[in-house]
Structures are given as C-alpha cells and as structure tokens.
C-alpha cells in the first residue's frame, strides 16, 4: 500500500488492523497451536528477548541447545542438560543418570538467545563472599507433565553474567519476568533476577533494574505478609514511585508457582505485575512513574549485566526458587505480557506426585519422636538454632509444632541418604557441628552438605529408624539430656554413653505436627 493510500484510512482503522495483526502473531505462538515459547511471543510483540534462562524448558519454539550445566561431586566432571525435543522440556533423566550415587550442583544456566548471556556462578562482591551453585536435585517439579528440576537457592548461592550483550543500559527500556515460588522466600537481601552493575558493587541509585521477590520490606508500607514483587532499582526495593506499596490489595503472592514481571521504560515509567503461574492472569501491582523523590532513578542508569539470586552488590542472604526467566529489549506491551502469562500457565507447572506425609520419601514432611521410655512424647525441634527434644502435643503452640516439623530432602551430600529441611525456616537444615545438631542455613559448602546428610537404617532397638551421619558413619542422631547430637556407642563424649544408646538413637518417623 502506498503512502498516499494510507493517508485516506482513518487512524482508528489502522490501529485496529495493527492490533489484529498482533493478535494473529500471538495466536500462532500460543501453546497448542504451535509449541511457541515466551520469547517467540515477545518477538512477535516487537520486544525480543535478549536473555532467556530456564532449567525446565525451552523458551523459544526453535531452541534445541543446553539449558544448564551440572558438576558432580564424585569426580568434578561436568555435563550439559538439554531438552527432550526442540522447543520442549528439560531432560531431567540425563541429570539423574549423571548424578546417580553422588550429588550435583548447577554451575551454569545457559542463555537461550544467540547472545550467550549465560549465567555462571557469581563470584564475591562488595557485600558478600563468592557463591555456590544451587544443588541440582533440590527442587523436583513437573512441567508439561515431565519431571524437571527448578533451581532452589539458599543463602550464598547466585549467578551472574557481567557486561551482558544487548541488555538495557543508561535509560533504555526493558521488560523481564521470572517464574518463582511463593512458598520459598525470606526477608534477606535480595532474591533478584535482572539488570545489575558490571562490577559486583553498588554503584548508585538506578544502576539496577531487577525483579525482587521476597519479604524484605524496604519502604513502608508493605501490606499483608508477602512475599511481594518489587523492583530492585539499587539502594531500594520499590513497590511504587514512593517506595512503599500503593495497593492494599497486594498482600503478597503465596502461590507455589508465581509469575513475577517488571517493565521499565528507563525514563519515567515502570510497572510491576504478578500472577499464579498455574492459572489466571496477571495482577498489576503498580504502573506509573519512576521514583523522583530520590535522585538517580528517573532516568535510570542500568549497566546491562544480569544477576540471579543475589543483590547487585552480591548481598547474598536470600533464598528463593527459579524455574525460568527472560529479559527483553524494549518495553513489552500489556497484550504481550498477558500472552506470555497464558503461555506460562499452559506449561502446567506442578509439584512432584504428592508424597505421603510422615515417610522418609523426599518431599514428605515429618516429625521425629524419641522412643526411649523417658521421652516418648518428645520430638526433635529447633530452639534458638540448636536441635533439642521437647514435648509436643496437639495442644502445643503453633510455633512449637512448626519448629518440630521437617521436610525430607534428598541427601545434600549423597542422594541415597536424606537431609532434613526446617519446615518454618526454608533453606535451613539440621546439621552437626562439633557433634551437636543445629538448624543452620545451607551455605553450599562441601562441609555443610556432608554435615547435613544422614543415612537412615533400621532402628537399633529393632523398631523405628536410626540415622547415621554421612561423614561420621559410626555416629547416629541421638538425644541426650534433651539435646541432640551425633553419638557413637561408648565413645569419649558424655553423650556417647552406652546406657540406653540403642533407645536414644531410635526414632519414630511420625506424621508432622505442621503438615
Ligand atoms: O537495592 C537493594 C540492594 O541494595 C541491592 O540489591 C544491593 O546492591 C544493595 O545492597
């Protein structure tokens, strides 16, 4: 059509035509009509992905490369985990085979765009020491009916690509989302995915533009209990231009799978949305001006690097879950973002098949009851970070029940054994230190992983279960004077006493006080 003909078509008709063309492009890309990925949808909307990371699936219809690299503990060998088919889901069976009888960490999450904005493990920054990769088997879920793994972050875990290619800098527009979880979060700084500094340091207001998800309320008010999506724009987690939330309806999102979205035109506008990644649409939590009462955010000063799991300066105390995320060039339209949410919902993220409570199957929640005659109403719980036994009953306070409940995980140091994650402090595990048991955050170190791994065997009294320490296999979880140790029968410590040893190391694996 020539320019002269175009002149005679009313603007409204042209706009409707453009909208129809966009809708058609999106339709072609919707799952079901073709196996489109979110990045095909962003491209159809004119805001192409410049980074695309996932441990669960391809984010482009045509992608058929590696999703992530794992390294196994037994011999430090690495392998790349790819897809079952082009545009499809992760080949988790390849990981299971490679990591059998040892453990693996994720060492790189690959960028699926042609820009190679891969995410290796983040080194030390000004606010935190060097990070570990996440344990590769800690978050088994399903996507599209396939068993896959998400990335489960404890403190001191993070990934970073410095000086990424094509990511917004100095006030350029961008969009991004991540699929995370509303059941695994904390209030430490900062579970982020997005645009950060080139140096691993805080270089000033507006030098970051990242999605934050958690319960760190930087600016009041934060409504309800969270966790909330916020924009980490550096030196502040923003829910609006004034910092705090403007929406009393936004009490947080506790869905097991959460879509968290941020867009920022780099000059004077940003928006935050979230939704249940398993159903429905997106809630707009904020859409409006960038902060102006504090200098540096309007316009922005992004530096174009990418972080996952920590703050811009490597503040790395946070925990969280990550399944997929992308960053775009340009400001995505609402229609594009809605289509991306529909695409995510179509993935049908889910938990592993339900695991019965009160068993030692990974994923099960349990309480551990002592069996010694003195103490059959006492359970292992944490109190002031130490593991002790206290009497817990249905009449107990909720706090006592929470502290006395544990989620069984595959052994952090050996997946033939198990680890016990705190029910009310996600990311914290039972570990021994100087032979005493404590609740502590997983710092990813080899020592922690080993100290937090226990191998179940038939109970020494002939009933129940005893738990051998993975790295001190002659020592078993024992209560002694109501404190919990790893003890060896007849050893040199008072808690190694032979009297009632078998009873004290025999536990009844019970239904959890807090499911
Ligand atoms: O903006 C919040 C945090 O502040 C950033 O992530 C970090 O770089 C700084 O400590």
Q: What is the mean pLDDT of each run of 10 residues along the chain (515 residues)?
A: 31 37 42 70 98 98 97 91 97 94 89 98 96 89 95 92 96 98 92 98 98 98 98 98 97 96 98 98 98 98 98 95 98 98 97 80 92 98 98 97 94 92 87 98 88 98 98 98 98 98 98 92
- Shortest CA distance to 217 belongs to which of 262, 194, 251, 184? 251
- pLDDT recorded at residue 354: 62
Provide φ and ψ at 8, rounded to 5°.
Answer: -90, 0
**Probe ligand 1: pick from 204, 217, 232, max atoms within 8 Å of CB?**
232
The pLDDT of residue 5 is 30
Instruction: Check pocket membership of 324 for ligand 1, CB cut-off 6 A.
Output: no
Angle between helices 334-347 and 11-29 (to 10 degrees): 20
* Rg of the Cα atoms in the chain: 25
The secondary structure of 421-465, three-state, reads: EECCCCCEEEEEECCEEEEEECCCCHHHHHHCCEEEEECCCCCCE
Q: Which atom of ligand 1 is nearest to the CA of 210?
A: 6
In ligand 1, which atom is closest to the CA atom of 312? 8
CB 312 near ligand 1, within 6 Å: yes
Distance CA 88, CA 32 (A): 13
Q: Is 504 a known active-site residue? A: no
Residue 250 CB–ligand 1 contact under 6 Å: no
- Cα of 102 from ligand 1 centre, angstroms: 36
β-strands 324-328, 483-487: how paired? unpaired
197 lines ligand 1 (CB under 6 A): no
Instruction: Locate the ligand 1 atom nearest the alpha carbon of residue 127 and give its number.
Output: 10
Buried b / exposed e along 217-239 (16+ C-beta atoms within 10 A): bbbeebbbebbbbbbbbbbbbbb
C-beta 315 within 6 A of ligand 1: yes
Of all atoms in ligand 1, which is nearest to the CA of residue 313?
8
Residue nearest to atom 9 of ligand 1 (CA): 235
Q: Is 313 a catalytic residue?
A: yes
Comparing C-alpha atoms, which of 132, 104, 136 is closest to residue 120? 132
205: which 2 tokens? Answer: 């207001």
Cα end-to-end span (Å), the chain = 65
Q: β-strands 228-232, 209-214: how paired?
A: antiparallel
Kindly give the distance from the C-alpha atom of residue 287 to the centroid of ligand 1, in angstroms, as a whole number. 22
Beta bridge partners of 132: 157
CB of 307 sitting under 6 A from ligand 1: no
For ligand 1, atom 6: residue with the closest CA: 311
pLDDT at residue number 428:
87
Residue 28: per-residue pLDDT: 38
User: Which run of H or of E encompasses 265?
Assistant: none
Residue to substitute in 312, 314, 317, 318 for testing ligand 1 pocket (most ligand atoms within 8 angstroms of CB): 312
State the catalytic residue, choosing from 122, 209, 313, 504. 313
CB 143 within 8 A of CB 331: no
- What is the position in ligand 1's atom list of the atom closest to the CA of 314? 8
Residue 173 Cα to ligand 1 midpoint, Å, equals 21
Q: For residue 400, give the H/E element and its range.
A: helix 398-403
């Amino acid at each position: 059509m020539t320019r002269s003909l175009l002149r005679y078509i009313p603007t409204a008709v042209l706009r409707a035509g453009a909208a129809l063309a966009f809708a058609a492009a999106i339709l072609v890309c919707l799952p079901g009509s073709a196996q489109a990925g979110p990045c095909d949808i962003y491209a159809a909307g004119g805001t192409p992905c410049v980074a695309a990371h996932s441990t669960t699936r391809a984010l482009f219809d045509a992608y058929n490369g590696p999703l992530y690299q794992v390294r196994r503990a037994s011999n430090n060998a690495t392998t790349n985990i790819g897809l079952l088919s082009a545009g499809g889901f992760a080949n988790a069976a390849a990981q299971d085979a490679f990591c059998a009888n040892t453990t693996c960490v994720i060492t790189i999450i690959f960028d699926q765009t042609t820009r190679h904005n891969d995410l290796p493990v983040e080194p030390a920054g000004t606010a935190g020491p060097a990070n570990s990769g996440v344990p590769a088997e800690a978050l088994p879920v399903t996507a599209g009916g396939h068993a896959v793994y998400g990335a489960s972050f404890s403190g001191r875990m993070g990934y970073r690509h410095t000086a990424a290619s094509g990511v917004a800098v100095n006030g350029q527009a961008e969009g991004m989302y991540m699929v995370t979880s509303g059941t695994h979060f904390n209030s430490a700084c900062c579970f982020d995915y997005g645009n950060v500094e080139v140096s691993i340091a805080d270089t000033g207001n507006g030098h970051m533009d990242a999605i934050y998800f958690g319960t760190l309320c930087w600016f009041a008010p934060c409504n309800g209990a969270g966790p909330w999506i916020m924009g980490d724009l550096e030196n502040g987690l923003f829910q609006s231009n004034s910092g705090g939330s403007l929406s009393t309806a936004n009490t947080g999102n506790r869905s097991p799978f959460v879509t968290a979205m941020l867009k920022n035109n780099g000059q004077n506008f940003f928006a935050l949305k979230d939704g249940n990644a398993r159903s429905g649409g997106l809630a707009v939590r904020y859409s409006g001006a960038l902060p102006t009462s504090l200098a540096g955010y309007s316009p922005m000063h992004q530096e174009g690097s990418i972080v996952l799991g920590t703050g811009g300066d490597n503040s790395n105390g946070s925990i969280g879950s990550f399944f997929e995320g992308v960053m775009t060039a340009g400001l995505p339209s609402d229609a594009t973002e809605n289509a991306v949410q529909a695409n995510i919902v179509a993935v049908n993220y889910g938990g592993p098949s339900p695991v019965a409570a009160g068993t030692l199957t990974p994923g099960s929640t349990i309480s551990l009851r002592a069996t010694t005659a003195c103490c059959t109403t006492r359970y292992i719980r944490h109190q002031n970070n130490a593991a002790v036994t206290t009497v817990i009953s249905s009449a107990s306070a909720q706090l006592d029940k929470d502290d006395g409940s544990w989620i069984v995980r595959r052994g952090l140091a050996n997946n033939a054994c198990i680890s016990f994650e705190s029910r009310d402090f996600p990311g914290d595990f039972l570990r021994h230190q100087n032979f005493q048991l404590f609740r502590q955050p997983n710092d990813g170190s080899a020592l922690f992983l080993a100290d937090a791994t226990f191998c179940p065997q038939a109970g020494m009294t002939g009933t129940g279960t005893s738990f051998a320490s993975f790295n001190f296999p002659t020592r078993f979880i024992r209560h002694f004077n109501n404190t919990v140790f790893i003890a060896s029968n007849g050893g040199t410590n008072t808690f190694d006493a032979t009297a009632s040893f078998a009873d004290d190391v025999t536990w009844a694996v019970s239904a959890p006080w807090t499911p």
